[in-house]
Amino acid sequence: MSKNIAGRKDEMQILSDALDSHRSELIAIYGRRRIGKTYLIREYFNNKIVFSFTGLSTGKRAEQIKNFILKLSEVTDQFKEQKQPVDWLEAFSLLKTFLKSIKESQKKKVIFIDEFPWIDSHKSGFLAAFENFWNDYCTTRRDLVVVVCGSAASYMIKKIINNSKGLSKRITQTIKLKPFNLKETKAFFKYKRILMEEYEILKIYMALGGVAEYLEHVKSGDSAVTSIEHLCFKPAAYLENEYNEVFKSLFNENSYHQKIMNALADCKKKGISRDEILAKLNISSGGRFSDSLEELIQSGFVLKYNAYKDNSKSTLYRVFDEFCLFYLKFMRPNKENKWTQLFQKQEYKTWCGYAYETICLKHSEEIKKALRCDQIDSKNYSWHNTKAQVDLVIDRADDVVNLCEIKFYNDEFSIDETYLQKLRKKESEFRLSTGTKKSIYTVMISTWGLNQNQYSQAIITKNLTMKCLFE
């Protein structure tokens, strides 16, 4: 395991297993822009990489091939007099020649192709040539690890992972690199020698999420407020144009991705249905819309989740990427304002509740561990009727239902008699609407915990704080 990589234990185990296996390995890794894919591969494999090549974002086939040959010439002098290949079959033939000059041994050699989707432009022939390279040559050796990487999740899933032609069932390992969770974010700051309390980390996470490259720019000694001001609101701030650049780099300009994000960001807290998105956009359902929505889900920008109204199940969608939601809610409408002033307004305080709820949904496994039910099968969903709503329901196979009340508050939260009756109403309405015979336990998940009193003791079975999200 590399000392220079924070978190990513599961992913590094996959890479370690690839080095120790008895065969050549083909690993596909994907994840959103700036998530740390390239850093992970280069840092972990380091001097085991014998050839590395990154696609050009806008290059045509001839330019991509030229870039390929230039990178090959950096690791071998074999092709000094070689004319530029006319197609990708010839280019990969040169790579085969180079690899044949490296004696086969038990020590694995790594070939890393980064931004794979950029190279495979229309009619480029790149994917077919790569398929041939893997099937015709790499599989004949036992000492190669080929890593293909891309930010465009839809391409990587359709063309690589679920490939039904030359790469069908050839991918030996798949890594979907997600943003850091809160535990990994804390470890990342510790690695950077940034001393920061969990509450401050949480507030930064609400705005930036767990995107490694964004967190890289947080400075020691800064608070959450000053960090966000510096990164998002100052003139020429680092993240000023990031939102548009993300969508430009991942998706086609004539798609519905940004329109869908706008519709979701402008909707009610609990998310909206597919039909409501279509109504907001004033379009009819079709392949382009369906593809755009699915790609947003696969890329981690949108959450598709189950919700129940009374006992009727529906599927809702909501923005699931912290930075995108923060940009749409605060950065875009307040370009001339200072965050040092905006964060004090009620709009931000209200938004914190929504952002904290989203973070709790992302950390549901950590919540289950705190409830000591992580080894028990369960289903997560939200629930509401006309009289009550529950942020997160954990419906367990051991005949228990946890109704999770999620509260972002800057101090210990106090339950009074009125709030007690509200929570009891939720329990009774949930049982009445769903007809469940299971035991219903109400759980409080707040930032600093509860001020214990007669009312909290009367209904709260488990008092969790933000600390459980960092475990």
Written out in words, the top-level CATH class of the domain with range 243-320 is mainly alpha
Looking at domain 9-176, does it have CATH number 3.10.420.10?
no
Q: What number is the average pLDDT over the span 366-383?
A: 96
Which of 189, 195, 300 has its CA nearest to residue 250? 300
User: pLDDT of 263-302, one tens digit each?
Assistant: 999 876 678 999 999 999 999 888 889 989 998 998 889 9
Q: How confident is the model at residue 395 (pLDDT cuts 50, 70, 90)?
A: very high
314 pLDDT more than 80: yes
Distance CA 409, CA 414 (A): 10
Long-range contacts of range 41-46, CB-CB < 8 Å, 24 or more positions apart?
41/15, 41/112, 41/114, 41/147, 41/149, 42/112, 43/2, 43/4, 43/5, 44/2, 44/5, 44/12, 44/15, 45/15, 45/110, 45/112, 45/145, 45/147, 46/2
pLDDT at residue 2 above 70?
Answer: no
Instruction: Please give the model's pTM, rounded to 2 decimal places.
Output: 0.90
DSSP state of 446: E
Q: Across residues 84-107, what is the average pLDDT?
A: 94
Single-letter amino acid, residue 308: Y
Domain 363-464 fold is Trna Endonuclease; Chain: A, domain 1 (3.40.1350)
pLDDT of res. 32:
86
Q: Which helix (H) or strand (E) holds 154?
A: helix 153-155
| Tens digits of residue pLDDT in 98-115 | 999 998 888 999 999 999
Given this model, what pLDDT does residue 218 score?
97
Residue type, 118: W
pLDDT value, residue 391: 87
Domain boundaries, the chain: 9-176, 182-240+330-355, 243-320, 363-464
State the pLDDT at residue 290. Answer: 92
Q: Is the pLDDT confidence value at 1 over 60?
A: no
Our measurement of the distance from residue 434's CA atom to the centroid of its chain's CA atoms, rounded to an integer in Å, reads 33
- Kind plus residue range of the DSSP H or E element containing 182: helix 182-191
Percent of the chain with pLDDT over 90: 84
Query: What pLDDT does 284 receive?
Result: 87
pLDDT 10s digits, 228-254: 999 999 999 999 999 998 888 788 766
User: Which pLDDT belongs to residue 423?
Assistant: 97
